[in-house]
Amino acid sequence: MVNTILFDLDGTLVRMSQDDFLDAYISRISKVFARLGLDPEEAIKALWIGTKAMVQNDGSVLNSVRFWDAFSSHLKLDESKRIACEAACDGFYTGEFNEVKSITNPTDVSKRIVKTMKAKGYCVVLATNPVFPLCALETRLKWIGLDVSDFEHVTYYTNSSFCKPSLGYYKEVLAKVNKTPEQCLMIGNSPAEDMCIGALGAETFLVTGYLESAGDFDISAFKKGSPEELEKYLMSLQDC
């Protein structure tokens, strides 16, 4: 019986286009790098190199270690400069990053379904790809009227050692909340990154409207629908 709901964040709870998000995000964090005296173009290259290192992480170290090692290596930063960069980025995520909210399409549905499923007795998990620090996650949740405390567990780059679409990511999450795949329903907008947990035996629901990484995926077999259709489906589930 399903007693645990795993929610993706970007494009699922936070309704937005990934391309619009990246454009808005990159243009703003580039200014942070410039203020640090870094070449913005090279710093953005380093950011992508660090992100790739996290996506390829094998569970041996935290994603944050993978990111900052790769980022610093590309830019040849010493330890003091690396620490300064990390602090500046954390400051960015609690400040200027809020400007990115302007490209989102807020809906009351996201807040309502999280609060309702929690009230129905479900273990509610925020299973967002852990490539950002906790402070960035807290900011994005505020955009939709939610908080980290609304979830039993959330994933971010200092508490995770895998990324989507690795099944290691999902195994790590389930181990932390002590659940089996059969007890879980994963809700997300990416066939590649979110629906893959189905291979472990979990149920899935694909949120349409802002599909990501769809590629040549045949999505006809997935349970799917709009946020409003998702809400109707979740309300049909029995209380735990």
Q: Which domain holds residue 177?
A: 4-17+104-235
Helix 63-75 vs helix 40-55: angle between axes, to the nearest 10 degrees?
Answer: 150
My answer on whether 156 and 187 are in the same domain is yes
CATH number at residue 188: 3.40.50.1000
Let me know whether 43 and 109 are in one domain: no
Residue at a domain's end among 70, 100, 130: 100
Q: Are residues 12 and 128 in the same domain?
A: yes
Number of domains observed in the structure of the chain: 2
Residue 217 burial by CB count (10 A; 0-12/13-18/19+): exposed, middle or buried? middle
> 33: which strand partners?
none
* Residue 38 belongs to some domain of the structure: yes
Domain end: 46, 78, 100, which one? 100
63 and 109 belong to one structural domain: no
At 18, give phi and psi (nearest 5°). -60, -40
**Residue 240: inside a domain:** no
- Measure the CA angle with vertex 164, ends 31 and 149; round to 5°: 75
Assess whether 25 and 11 both reside in one domain.
no
pTM for this predicted structure: 0.96
Q: Average of pLDDT values for 38-43?
A: 97
Which of 72, 100, 128 is the C-terminal boundary of a domain?
100
132, 151: one domain:
yes
Q: Over the stretch 63-96, which tens digit does the pLDDT of each residue have?
A: 999 999 999 999 999 999 999 999 999 999 999 9
Between residues 181 and 217, the one the model is more confident about: 181
The pLDDT confidence band at residue 12, using thresholds 50, 70 and 90, is: very high
- Residues 10, 113, single domain; the answer is yes
Both tokens assigned to 110: 């996201």
How far is Cα 90 from Cα 98, in angstroms, rounded to an integer?
12
Residue 25 lies in a domain: yes
pLDDT (mean) for 2-22: 96
- What pLDDT band is residue 29 in, cutting at 50, 70 and 90? very high
Q: Say whether both 130 and 166 belong to one domain.
A: yes
Q: Is residue 108 part of a domain?
A: yes
Write out pLDDT tens, residues 138-176: 999 999 999 999 999 999 999 999 999 999 999 999 999
Same domain, 116 and 230: yes
Same domain as 181, residue 204: yes
41 and 154 co-located in one domain:
no
**193 within some domain:** yes
Is residue 83 domain-shared with residue 160, that is, in the same domain?
A: no
Q: How confident is the model at residue 209 (pLDDT cuts 50, 70, 90)?
A: confident
